[in-house]
Chain A
Amino acid sequence: MNQPLPLAGLVVLDISTFIAAPAAAVALADYGADVIKIEAPGEGDPHRHNYKRAATYPRSDSNFPLQLDGRLKRSLALDLKKEESRPVLEKLVKRADIMIVNFPPPARLRLRLRWEDMQPINPRLVYCSLTGYGESGPDRDRPGFDVTAYFGRSGILDAARYEGGPPGLSLPAQGDRATAMTLVAAILLGLRHRDQTGEGCWVGTSLYANGAWANGTTLAGAAIGGTLVTREPPHKPKNALTNLYRTQDDRWLQLLMVRDDRLWPTFCRVIGQPELETDPRFTDREERRQRALELHAVIAPLFAARTYAEWEALLSKTGIPFGVIGRVADVVDDEQAKHAGIFADTTNPEVPRTVNNPIRLGFAKPRVSGKPSAVGENSEEILRELAYSEAEIEALRKAGALG
């Protein structure tokens, strides 16, 4: 521990919005990079307002998503549409090691922010691009969101459903954050290439490719015409002993009794139905499978009559495998989550704890984060680092290029 952070000394320009690409920049910052977020003067990255605007976000008075996606960054409010901003941007690009962009290709072209535009300015730059659907093809220019590109288009939502039911649900930014880890890997491979050859490069990924990768098992099966499986809903199980049961307190218990050949008598006693053991309908495994619905009708009301805690007490130490569907409310105080290094304290009193990125290093700990910068909070400081004079800074402000 306490060795220098692996990315200390790297300068990252985060010219991206919303979540997947900014979250990748966060992971780099967590491990030491100096991340400069370039955003529009005024509102800044629209993600700054998601906690108030997005209907799918939990309501809160504190800007909790910004602690996740904006921590440890310096904010430079620079209007890239203004010609006066161009020299500032080019000076930053010259100094940068990594640039992260998520504009769709037409906007990149308009703003002259493509790799081809940047390479002449800094041939050692690692240019990282995130798109919804890739850098070519019919849907190249389509703005991509997590729900549509990662989950909908990749077949995850269709596969994540019970037979006859509606498609599965994804959570806000769930695929964005998984994609961020791919971006980090792509950037680190780009850095390795630079170390090996002295040359910068383009690297990138798309939300669609990440959704397809996550759904890879099913898609690989589909690609060779495999027979896709459907998941029966818990009230119509194929095997009532490996199924989900709702408890009295609206929790879901996963019964995972694969060895019912051995455990059936124990189970009958534990659920308070010793006479079931000799019930001719269910005496052997095959009958229990054939009569899964009948068996379900017997045991579902029993599970529904007690709380999860009561069931946990009854089932523990019987050898019957079971689990619970966790609630996020429980995880935040979960002893195991502490040991796994999943949460971290911050020095921001408004959001005192945050979620760590999932990378653990034996030789370094992620940096502690404070209050994320406001839009343009570090504009002047960054411009002074670029040797801009007060008069020049003032002129940029007057032109509306700098916020």
Chain B
Amino acid sequence: MAESALPLQGLKVLDISSFIAAPAAAVVLGDWGADVVKVEGPEGDPNRRIMTDSANYPKAAVNYPWEMDSRNKRSLVLDLKKPEARAALERLLKWADVLICNFPPLVREKLKLGYDDVKPVNPRLIYASLTGYGESGPDRDRPGFDATAYFARSGLLDAQRYEGGPPGVPGPAQGDRATAMALVSSILMALIHRMKTGEGSWVGTSLLGNGLWSCGVIAQAALANAYLPHRPPPERPRSALGNIYRTSDDRWLQLTIVQEDKMWPPLAEAIGRPELIADDRFAQTAERRKRSAELAAILSEAFASEPYAHWGRVLAAGGITFGVISRPQDVPHDEQAVACGAIVDTAIPELPRTLSNPIRLGFAEQRTAHPAPGLGQHSEQILREVGLEAREIAALKSIGAVK
């Protein structure tokens, strides 16, 4: 499909944000055609170094997180702390349709980057704000991270644990990426508003708000004073037929049998224990539930005797539903991951494939990922585009405001 068909072609985005949720929203806009300029301080976005800095990131020879969160962007180094940089910033603000900002409110005030500061410069600007905890309130200025704001504060990690066990484990940037889609939606709402009224606006979202939205069922239940007890561990399940089992090759199978009475005989056959069908201890759902730990022990032993691939074949042959718990290393090779458009080819030789954003449009394809920019790689080009003269650019460079 022709690139001219991209729905955000011509949209100009200033990404003055760091780390993941807000930059990932800018990536999505870029995927659909927007021209994204990433404005970084002289040290660059710390996300450039997160693969080595964070203990929770897979280690690789290629800086894949940076490539993923910055694809198709241009990089401009502008030190916003220097007063000399202000005039250039204002040129950029006039140029832009969308500004994405994730500084905590206090820093925004210091840098004069609040919505009230930038609105007079460009009243048609869409100001998209990401915070950890919202724009006001006691924790307004607290830097918010995915693990703390989206997962810990929201109650997700506490709820995601087995009874008596430690809290759940969030994947790196898992909540950030989900939040990016809410930020994209808010920006698109603002574009509709601007089309109708001619006016720019403030829009935004918070990591905490997104964490709570994703665990909306338990949050809404808590508002009605209803709580979910922690899940019993796999050796004491509520139902042995709706439980997880380890296979001989250390993988896990998720049995999700709903129609227990109908599926119990084929399951007993599948695990090679047909005599259990006639066993009075497990004859009815009520009895199986009452003796779920006993039954889970039998099933655990059976499933631990053969590898995952064996059980996949045998259960499918018996018409028994089960959930696949893929390992991360399996997904890039999963034909269905390619079919649903999650894994796509890039134009980056050292990173031939990447994750596309999850939006699919019948009328356009996402742009192919090109290499993420080096720090300040496009500084001069961008500043010239917004009308700075060579002399002005040189002056900014000489005082270290531009790199």
A positions within 8 Å CB-CB of B? 3-4, 6-7, 23, 27, 31, 55-60, 62, 64-65, 67-68, 115, 131, 133-140, 147-148, 152-162, 165-175, 177-179, 181-182, 184-186, 188-193, 195-197, 199, 201-206, 208-210, 212-229, 231, 233-234, 238, 244, 246, 252, 254, 323-332, 334-343, 351-364
Contacts and interface: CB of A to CB of B under 8 A. Distances in A.
Contact of A173 (B170, B217, B224): B217
Interface stretch (B35-43, B186-194, B385-393): B186-194
The 8 nearest A-B residue pairs measured at CB: A137-B339, A339-B137, A134-B340, A340-B134, A221-B58, A328-B155, A202-B362, A362-B202
Given A134-B336, A169-B168, A336-B208, A331 B115 contact: no
B94 to A, nearest CB: 20
A362 B203 contact: yes
Given A177-B213, A181-B185, A193-B363, A152 B223 contact: no
Interface residues of B, number: 142
Given A189-B7, A244-B166, A68 B216 contact: yes
A213 B355 contact: yes
Contact of B186 (A158, A220, A343, A361): A361
A340 B162 contact: no
A184 to B, nearest CB: 4
B359 interface: yes
Q: Say whether chain A's binding surface is mostly helix, strand, loop, or mixed.
A: mixed
B192 A6 contact: yes
Nearest to A24: B185
Interface string B181-214: 1101110111111011101011111101110111
Nearest to A252: B167
Given A147-B323, A226-B58, A185 B185 contact: yes
B177 interface: yes
A68 B340 contact: no
Contacts of B285: none
Given A178-B214, A355-B213, A57 B201 contact: no
Interface string B313-350: 00000000001111111111011111111110000001
Q: Say whether chain B's binding surface is mostly helix, strand, loop, or mixed.
A: mixed
A157 B340 CA distance: 20
Contacts of A332: 219, 222-223
21 contacts: A58-B221, A67-B220, A133-B336, A147-B254, A148-B254, A160-B168, A175-B214, A177-B216, A179-B358, A185-B359, A193-B364, A204-B362, A212-B358, A222-B331, A224-B350, A228-B328, A254-B152, A335-B138, A359-B203, A362-B115, A362-B201
B135 interface: yes
Interface stretch (B226-234, B290-298, B373-381): B226-234
B139 interface: yes
Interface stretch (B60-68, B80-88, B96-104, B273-281): B60-68
A185 B342 contact: no
Given A64-B226, A203-B359, A325-B158, A227 B342 contact: no
Nearest to B350: A224
A143 to B, nearest CB: 10
B339 A331 contact: no
A214 B155 contact: no
Interface string B3-27: 0000110000000000010000000
Contact of A339 (B136, B184, B215, B216): B136
A222 B58 contact: yes
B324 A220 contact: no
Interface stretch (B238-246, B263-271, B395-403): B238-246
Contacts of A335: 137-138
Contacts of B356: 209
Contact of A185 (B28, B196, B246, B364): B28
Given A167-B244, A206-B358, A216 B189 contact: no
A155 B331 contact: yes
Given A203-B362, A355-B216, A336 B139 contact: yes
B220 A355 contact: yes
Interface in B124-172: 127, 131, 133-140, 148, 152-162, 165-172
* A325, A329, A342 — most chain B CB neighbours (10 Å): A325
B185 A359 contact: yes
B361 interface: yes
Interface of B: 7-8, 20, 28, 32, 51, 55-62, 64-65, 67-68, 115, 127, 131, 133-140, 148, 152-162, 165-175, 177-179, 181-182, 184-186, 188-193, 195-197, 199, 201-206, 208-210, 212-228, 231, 233-234, 238-239, 242, 244, 246, 252, 254, 256, 323-332, 334-343, 350-364
A218 B171 contact: yes
Given A134-B336, A171-B160, A252-B158, A342 B209 contact: yes
Contact of B68 (A115, A166, A216): A216
A118 to B, nearest CB: 12
A158 B325 contact: yes
Given A189-B7, A213-B357, A355-B219, 7 more contacts: A56-B228, A153-B334, A166-B246, A202-B362, A212-B337, A326-B153, A358-B213
B359 A152 contact: no
Nearest to A67: B220
A186 to B, nearest CB: 5
A148 B227 contact: no
A159 B171 contact: yes
B167 A244 contact: yes
A326 B217 contact: no
B181 A133 contact: no
Nearest to A235: B166
Given A166-B234, A209-B341, A217-B173, A154 B331 contact: yes
Nearest to A196: B7
B31 to A, nearest CB: 11
A208 B166 contact: no
Nearest to B192: A6
B224 A60 contact: yes
B214 A208 contact: no
Nearest to A144: B340
Contacts of B134: 336, 339-342
B324 A153 contact: yes
A293 B238 CA distance: 34
B201 A361 contact: yes
A355 to B, nearest CB: 5
B79 to A, nearest CB: 26
B217 A162 contact: no
B191 A192 contact: yes
Nearest to A129: B360
Contact of A223 (B154, B188, B332): B332
A326 to B, nearest CB: 5
Contacts of A212: 331, 337, 340, 342-343, 355, 358
